């Protein structure tokens, strides 16, 4: 029997439109429907309108009254590192006292610190730890999250992180897109032997990840003092040959050329971009690479924000994501991210919505299925407590998500 759900009389339904990333000036052109309803059948949006017959046909327990409320597409957090062992609260406070992220990393802290704890954690421990984070994400309206490996940097632990994400998909409602980030740092056992480590990943780890379909994307931390442009190019090129789609951590700490490399390789997304050059921004726009910006990381690192306004004005498709991780930004607060994007990065509320929905979906290659409220799309929806999307930045830093619908079912309220 067809399972139906009716979201009725929403004060506003606000959504970007289409099946691909929205670029440049088009990012602000969201559709706004007033006092309309959404009809869902078997997890798919089948109609948007105000047909009075729907209320009569559908049992009341399958109706959600959205009067006075705003409906948006479910949020897509397209860049996180949410599966990890241990915490790094001390490092956060050291940074506040003036130590830099790279100072801490060079002294054996940072990613290497989380690597030890993640290697030691069992699969079940990682599952329990991650379930708590996923529950918090859902409450913020995140219906799809990307998660990366990269805290193992050895064969067993990289696979363990990816398998944990695969198991987590069965245990809770948030969809998880898996990314292999073996090249997150050079582990101590390969110190000063970057080449050999890259070869190890390509030869010994990637084929298993590909064969067992444990990840859809491959990513690399392309940064001064981590992986060079040449090393990143070699890894990503091999990854594409083995069937992965590509992502890159680019120009996060210094201007390094990662954005240009993303353009050259036509990566699906280039992420961070705090220090992307003019040529780098152009390379992203020209090659249709989604520019994924992570404002809470810049905030927690006390770094300047990425040039969102300039990127949009240059024709880029910008996505917003949390980068949730135990080091550079231990926060998955969507309201904080929206506040930073609108208050400090010059994004409009409409652009922020597009960035967090359809462009986030494009950054994980799902824009044909999710990211907008349109007939034919999967019914992943967020209902806000207030009658206008403008409350998202206006009720600054406060979570106003009231109800979350995943695949046509209420999963949080």
| Residues 6+ away with beta carbon under 8 Å from 87 | 326, 330
Please report whether residue 327 would count as binding ligand NIG according to CB under 6 A: yes
Closest distance of CB 285 from Fe ion, Å:
22
Closest distance of CB 223 from ligand NIG, Å:
7
Please report whether residue 77 would count as binding ligand NIG according to CB under 6 A: no
CA distances from 373 to 71, 139, 201, 317, 341 (A): 9, 19, 40, 19, 23
| Residue 184 marked as a ligand binder | yes
Among 12, 175, 259, 297, the residue binding ligand NIG under the rule CB under 6 A is 297
* Footprint (CB under 6 A) of ligand NIG, residues 203-232: 221
Q: Among ligand NIG, Fe ion, none, what binds residue 326 when CB lies within 5 to 8 Å by partner kind?
A: ligand NIG
Please report whether residue 149 would count as binding ligand NIG according to CB under 6 A: no
Produce one character per residue of 103-140: b if its CB has 16 or more CB atoms within 10 Å, e if not. Answer: ebbeeebbbbbbbebbbebeeeebbebbeebbeebbeb
| Residue 88 marked as a ligand binder | yes
- CA–CA dist 228, 365 (Å, integer): 26
Applying CB under 6 A, the span of 106-114, 197-205, 238-246, 369-377 interacting with ligand NIG comes to: 106-114
Q: Among Fe ion, ligand NIG, none, what binds residue 252 when CB lies within 5 to 8 Å by partner kind?
A: ligand NIG
| Residue 33 marked as a ligand binder | no
Concatenate the DSSP letters of all residues of 348-393 into one string.
-HHHHHHHHTHHHHHHTT-TTTSSS--TTSB--EEEESSSSTTHHH
Phi first, then psi, for residue 252 (nearest 5°) are -80, -45
Closest distance of CB 207 from ligand NIG, Å:
24
| Residues 6+ away with beta carbon under 8 Å from 264 | 233, 283, 287
- CA–CA dist 101, 379 (Å, integer): 40
Q: Among Fe ion, ligand NIG, none, what binds residue 257 when CB lies within 5 to 8 Å by partner kind?
A: none
- CA–CA dist 293, 37 (Å, integer): 32
CB atoms < 10 A from the CB of 53, how many?
7
Instruction: For the sheet with 175-183, list strands across it.
Output: 75-77, 142-148, 175-183, 217-222, 245-250, 269-272, 290-293, 318-320
| Residue 151 marked as a ligand binder | yes
Please report whether residue 118 would count as binding ligand NIG according to CB under 6 A: no
Please report whether residue 158 would count as binding ligand NIG according to CB under 6 A: no
Distance of CA 116 to the CA centre of its chain: 25
- Residues in the interface with ligand NIG (CB under 6 A) total 13
Applying CB under 5 A, the span of 34-42, 56-64, 319-327, 368-376 interacting with Fe ion comes to: 319-327
In the complex with Fe ion, the residue whose CB is nearer, 23 or 79, is: 79
Q: Are 379 and 32 in contact (CB under 8 A)?
A: no
Closest distance of CB 289 from ligand NIG, Å:
17
In the complex with Fe ion, the residue whose CB is nearer, 260 or 271, is: 271
In the complex with ligand NIG, the residue whose CB is nearer, 251 or 351, is: 251
Please report whether residue 323 would count as binding Fe ion according to CB under 5 A: yes
Specify the residue for token string 């921004």: 281
Among 215, 210, 87, smallest CA distance to 161 is for: 215
- CA–CA dist 135, 69 (Å, integer): 23
* Footprint (CB under 6 A) of ligand NIG, residues 244-273: 249, 252
| Residue 194 marked as a ligand binder | no
Among 118, 143, 161, 328, the residue binding ligand NIG under the rule CB under 6 A is 328
- CA–CA dist 205, 140 (Å, integer): 34
Q: Among ligand NIG, Fe ion, none, what binds residue 327 when CB lies within 5 to 8 Å by partner kind?
A: ligand NIG
- CA–CA dist 363, 268 (Å, integer): 6
Residue nearest to Fe ion (CB): 323
Annotated binding-site residue numbers: 79, 81, 88, 151, 184, 249, 252, 323, 325, 327-328
Annotated binding-site residue numbers for Fe(3+): 79, 81, 249, 323
Give the binding site for Fe ion (CB under 5 A): 323
Give the binding site for ligand NIG (CB under 6 A): 81, 110-111, 114, 221, 249, 252, 297, 323, 325-328
Annotated binding-site residue numbers for 4-imidazolone-5-propanoate: 88, 151, 184, 252, 328
């Amino acid at each position: 029997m067809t399972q139906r759900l009716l979201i009725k009389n929403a004060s506003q339904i606000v959504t970007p439109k289409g099946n691909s990333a929205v670029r440049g000036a088009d990012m602000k052109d969201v559709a706004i429907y007033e006092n309309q309803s959404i009809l869902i059948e078997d997890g798919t949006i089948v109609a948007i309108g105000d047909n009075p017959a729907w209320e009569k046909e559908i049992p009341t327990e399958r109706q959600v009254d959205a009067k006075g409320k705003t409906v948006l597409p479910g949020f897509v957090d397209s860049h996180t590192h949410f599966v990890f062992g241990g915490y790094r609260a001390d490092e956060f406070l050291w940074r506040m006292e003036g130590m830099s992220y790279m100072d801490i990393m060079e002294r054996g802290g940072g990613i290497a610190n989380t690597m030890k704890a993640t290697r030691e954690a069992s699969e079940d421990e990682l599952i329990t730890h991650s379930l708590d984070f996923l529950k918090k994400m859902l409450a913020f309206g995140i219906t799809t999250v990307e998660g990366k490996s990269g805290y193992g940097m050895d064969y067993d632990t990289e696979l363990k992180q990816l398998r944990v994400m695969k198991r987590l998909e069965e245990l809770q409602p948030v969809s998880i897109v898996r990314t292999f980030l073996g090249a997150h740092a050079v582990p101590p056992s390969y110190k000063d032997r970057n080449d050999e480590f890259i070869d190890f990943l390509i030869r010994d780890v990637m084929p298993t990840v590909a064969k067992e379909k444990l990840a859809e994307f491959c990513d690399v931390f392309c940064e001064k003092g981590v992986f060079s442009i040449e090393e990143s190019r070699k890894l990503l090129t091999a990854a594409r040959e083995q069937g992965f789609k590509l992502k890159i951590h680019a120009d996060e700490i210094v201007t390094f050329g990662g954005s240009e490399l993303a353009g050259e390789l036509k990566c699906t997304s280039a992420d961070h971009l705090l220090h992307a050059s003019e040529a780098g921004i152009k390379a992203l726009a020209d090659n249709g690479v989604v520019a994924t910006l992570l404002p809470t990381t810049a905030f927690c690192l006390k770094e300047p924000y990425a040039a969102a306004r300039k990127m949009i004005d240059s024709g880029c498709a910008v996505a917003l994501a949390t980068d949730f991780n135990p080091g550079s930004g231990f926060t998955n607060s969507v309201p904080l991210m929206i506040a930073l994007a609108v208050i400090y990065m010059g994004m409009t509320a409409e652009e922020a919505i597009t960035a967090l929905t359809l462009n986030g979906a494009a950054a994980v290659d799902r824009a044909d299925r999710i990211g907008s409220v349109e007939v034919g799309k999967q019914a992943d929806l967020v209902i806000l407590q207030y009658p206008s999307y403008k409350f998202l930045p206006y009720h600054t830093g406060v979570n106003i998500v009231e109800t979350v619908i995943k695949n046509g079912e209420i999963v949080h309220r």
